Amino acid sequence: MTGDSSPALVDVQALTHTHGRGAAAVTVLHEITVRIGGGVLVALAGRSGSGKSTLCHLVAGVMAPTAGRVRVKGEPATAVRDWAGVALAPQRLALVGELTVAENVHLPALLRGAPVHPDLLARMDLERIARRPARETSLGEQQRTALARALVLAPDLAVLDEPTAHQDDGHVEQVVAALREAVRRGTTVLVATHDARLIEVADTVLNLHSGRLVPDAVGQGAARHDD
């Protein structure tokens, strides 16, 4: 994290972002600087409207910052266009409704011609509905489908926006276990969340307040796991 001299997987420097123009412009992020290493679970916490989703989208490279920079593996985040590099599971899940659950999960691997992790459907409790069209599943099932899709190529970085928002307690436990396993395999997971259970298992917690990182959260942060 910030202050670490080792190469950062994610390097955010003086990032500021504004929505809208002119009199309607609203600055939602202010001078964010943070570095994130490899193979860690980082929780991005804060109230609704604090800028968590915007920061997720900027780190994932789906939009460019108004000022400052975001680099992933030394490249501008907007230049990383490979699910094996950066995978995003947004709040709007962006599934292909007519494809089955399994086809949605495996789509990044099929497009790349790459092998998949066959246990992801089971880990996310999706095996029994694997052949069902995604549009015929519940919101919670769709969210787990999007999460499994984000992890299917064991990406360098998985950016997940409120991944437990539609899950019951049992499925939250499954999601947490799947994320810890992804980290064990080397994926860095950046997760925006209000969920105390996810925050509790994170290696580092970054707190956003009104678009600014809380000073106590910008430092190295203590790793809480040995796995």
Q: Does residue 225 sit within a domain?
A: no
Q: Are 134 and 101 in contact (CB under 8 A)?
A: yes
> pLDDT, tens digit, for every residue of 112-133?
888 776 689 999 999 999 999 9
Q: Does residue 227 sit within a domain?
A: no
Q: Does residue 173 sit within a domain?
A: yes
CA distances from 53 to 43, 44, 133, 136, 209 (A): 12, 9, 28, 27, 13
Q: Does residue 78 sit within a domain?
A: yes
Q: Does residue 125 sit within a domain?
A: yes
Percent of the chain clearing pLDDT 90 (strictly above)? 80
Domain count, the chain: 1
The structure tokens listed for 130 are 């694997």
Q: Does residue 1 sit within a domain?
A: no
Q: Does residue 200 sit within a domain?
A: yes
> Is pLDDT at 226 greater than 50 in this prediction?
no
Mean pLDDT, the chain, rounded, equals 90
Distance CA 83, CA 150 (A): 7
Contacts of 140 (CB under 8 A, 6+ apart): 166, 167, 168, 171
Question: Which residues span the domain enclosing 190?
Answer: 10-217
Predicted confidence at residue 164, as pLDDT, reads: 96
List the CATH number of the domain containing 161. Answer: 3.40.50.300
Distance CA 70, CA 13 (A): 7
pLDDT band at 224 (very low <50, low <70, confident <90, very high): very low
Q: Does residue 209 sit within a domain?
A: yes
Q: Average pLDDT for residues 91-99, to the nearest whole number?
A: 93
Predicted confidence at residue 118, as pLDDT, reads: 66
Please report the DSSP string for 184-222 in residue order: HTT-EEEEE---HHHHHH-SEEEEEETTEE-GGGSS---
> pLDDT, tens digit, for every residue of 141-198?
999 999 999 999 999 999 999 999 999 999 999 999 999 999 999 999 999 999 999 9
Distance CA 87, CA 155 (A): 6
The structure tokens listed for 104 are 């949605």
Burial class (CB in 10 A: 0-12, 13-18, 19+), 149: buried
